[in-house]
Amino acid sequence: MKRSRQFILFILLVISLYLTVFPGYSSLVKVIAFIVYLTILFSISYVLMLENRSPYKTLLWIYALFFFPIVGYIFYIYSGQLEVKGHLFRNKREQAAEMLENKFSFKPSPHWNNLTETQQSFSQLIEKFSRNQISFHTSSKILKNGDEAFPAIKEAIGQAKDYIHLEYYTFKSDQIGQEIIDMLCDKAKDGIEIRFIYDAVGSLSLSTKSIRQMKDAGIEVHCFLPVKLGFINQKLNFRNHRKIIIVDGEVGFVGGLNVGDEYLGRNPRFGFWRDTHLVLKGEAIKTLQTTFSFDWAFVSGETLLNPKYLATKYIDGDQGGVQIVSSGPDSTIQGIMGDIYYALLTSAKKSILIATPYFVPNKAIRTALSMAASKGIDVKILVPEINDGFLTQYATRSYFSEMLYHDIEVYMYKKGFLHEKVIIIDEQFASVGTANLDLRSLHLNFEVNAFLFDTESVKDLVQHYKEDLSDSIKVDKTSYKNRGLVLRTKESFARLFSPVL
């Protein structure tokens, strides 16, 4: 529904309910008001039915509307319509489609034949869903934690000769943030083209002073979906969770690390920060650049059609395969990352290793994990012991019972806060990126992941995962089953907010 229509219905709903319930009005007025009230509720229910959601979700929202009419309607507009969101980003999707008309093709490679049949099938599925091909002319390197990632990022920025494109969910005006801002400003003054996108909600700590400093230096800065006042601003819930840097089309970064001091372990609240980032060189940078270009066109109106932004940079040799997937509310296939994660998990033959800060999976993901465990596949899930929020911590723990019931091993990382988003299948191929295993990442956020096939990076991920397990405790099935009522209550309460966590 359009916002103006939503507002009118809300006002009519409030007025008709008031006239129906409160004394002082004639019986005729009350009858007319009650008829209007029921007409509005039945009209909304009819729209709900036409949306063809799952029956239990449709009935749930209808019950909420009838039993809690005012509050229920507000929640329906704010979160209940999040699944039916295509119209909110129709223009962005249409812009992307126009740009894809001239989409590039990657150079064929005989290394495709080195992949297993399962890997080939999964890669083909990614290409079908995302229209992004696998590249065998791209090198990848895992950057463990901020102390490896930020020096590499600074080095790449310092060596830039033509342009730098950055896109971040969280970018702060603290020590590390200011260091990078100063470097960017120096490069801009040297004539380097710099474009920077930051998310309005995630980067609330990016000061106006820092933004002005960048603009004064000649950096083009744009905010993704600025927070606007108004009646139920639905777009507030859709955030750009991507972390992308592209330098001269030669070097690209993607992964879990935002820009802020806590990502270097400098925040006492979080302590040690465990994360995984990825640096890419070569052909697949073009896919990252395409993702950035779509977002840049959305925030600025400028279409980056200069051939230099998609120039081919091949890396020769047996590098393994790299395939980039971007997802979000603008995707032609809604919930594309969730579908790809499901396909990734169901392709496992021996093992599934998952590390995620927020484990709030949808039904399909839970089914894939339980079915894998029932077939004797070794399934391990690693989450932080202490999370960065009450709801995220206890919502995550609310899924432990189901996982433990299916003999899935659950570990809690104790050394600090675990923020990496990694899935490793059979120790042969893996996903590294920005998308968590939660409903927000799978359905609401704009995300980007790199899928790695038989690369040295996968071996590094496996080794790092084993090291992380040594800094974790395994959740005991019996002890967890006997946890107290207070913990159960916290978990159940937090789980109610799963769709928007």
CATH number at 378 reads: 3.30.870.10
Spatial CA neighbour of 465 closest among 384, 387, 382? 382
What was the pLDDT predicted at 2?
56
List, in order, residues 6 or more apart from 447 with CB less than 8 Å away. Answer: 241, 242, 326, 327, 328, 337, 433, 434, 435, 441
Dihedral sign for Cα 245, 250, 255, 261, please: negative
pLDDT over 90, % of the chain? 62
pLDDT in tens, 157-193: 999 999 999 999 999 999 999 999 999 999 999 999 9
Q: Which two tokens stand for residue 26?
A: 């004639």
292 and 351 inside one domain = no
- Residue 469, domain member (yes or no): yes
Answer with the one of 66, 81, 96 that is the final residue of a domain: 81
Angle between helix axes 55-67 and 27-50 (nearest 10 degrees) is 160
222 and 292 inside one domain = yes
Spatial CA neighbour of 186 closest among 164, 212, 217? 217
193 and 307 inside one domain = yes
Q: Sorting pLDDT into bands at 50, 70 and 90, what band is 414?
A: very high
Answer with the one of 257, 286, 319 that is the final residue of a domain: 319
- Residue 270, domain member (yes or no): yes
154 and 232 inside one domain = yes
What was the pLDDT predicted at 469?
98
Q: Which residues of 461-498 are buried (b: 16+ CB within 10 A; e: fewer)?
A: bbebbeebbeebeebebeeeeeeeeeeeebbeebbebb
List, in order, residues 6 or more apart from 245 with CB less than 8 Å away. Answer: 153, 156, 157, 164, 165, 166, 167, 251, 252, 253
Name the more confident of 1 and 352.
352
Whether 181 and 173 have beta carbons less than 8 Å apart is answered as: yes
pLDDT at 102 over 60: no
Answer with the one of 81, 101, 118 that is the final residue of a domain: 81
| Number of Cβ atoms within 10 Å of the Cβ of 322 | 27
Averaged pLDDT, 347-371: 96
- Residue 195, domain member (yes or no): yes
Spatial CA neighbour of 340 closest among 482, 201, 410, 442? 442
Name the more confident of 255 and 235.
255
Residue 46 buriedness (CB in 10 A; 0-12 / 13-18 / 19+): exposed
- Residue 71, domain member (yes or no): yes
- Residue 341, domain member (yes or no): yes
From residue 133, how far is each of 128, 259, 434 by CA, in Å? Answer: 9, 29, 19
Spatial CA neighbour of 286 closest among 107, 446, 129? 107
341 and 312 inside one domain = no
State the total domains in the chain. 3
Q: Which two tokens stand for residue 28?
A: 């005729």
**What is the amino acid identity at position 122?**
F
pLDDT in tens, 273-289: 999 999 999 999 999 99
SS3 category, 220: strand
- Residue 222, domain member (yes or no): yes
34 and 64 inside one domain = yes
SS3 category, 418: strand
Mean pLDDT of the chain: 88
Residues designated as active site: 241, 243, 248, 419, 421, 426
242 and 161 inside one domain = yes
Q: Which helix (H) or strand (E) holds 194?
A: strand 193-199
What was the pLDDT predicted at 27?
85
pLDDT at 104 over 70: no
Distance CA 84, CA 78 (A): 11
- Residue 382, domain member (yes or no): yes
DSSP labels, 233-298? -GGGG--B--EEEEETTTEEEEES--BSGGGGT--TTT-SEE-EEEEEEETTHHHHHHHHHHHHHH
pLDDT at 231 over 50: no
- Residue 128, domain member (yes or no): no
51 and 168 inside one domain = no
302 and 383 inside one domain = no
SS3 category, 485: helix
pLDDT in tens, 425-459: 999 999 999 999 998 898 889 999 999 999 999 99
Estimate the share of the chain in helix, then strand, then coil, as percent rounded to the nearest 5. Answer: 50, 20, 30
Strand partners, 372: none
Whether 278 and 254 have beta carbons less than 8 Å apart is answered as: yes
What was the pLDDT predicted at 306?
83
Averaged pLDDT, 315-334: 83
467 and 413 inside one domain = yes
* SS3 of 93-157: HHHHHHHHCCCCCCCCCHHHHHCCHHHHHHHHHHHHHHCCCCECCEEEEEEECHHHHHHHHHHHH
**What is the amino acid identity at position 276?**
T
Spatial CA neighbour of 441 closest among 382, 501, 369, 367? 501
216 and 255 inside one domain = yes
171 and 251 inside one domain = yes
pLDDT at 330 over 60: yes
Which backbone phi and psi does 81 adopt, to 5 degrees? Answer: -95, 5
**Residues of the domain holding 8:** 3-81
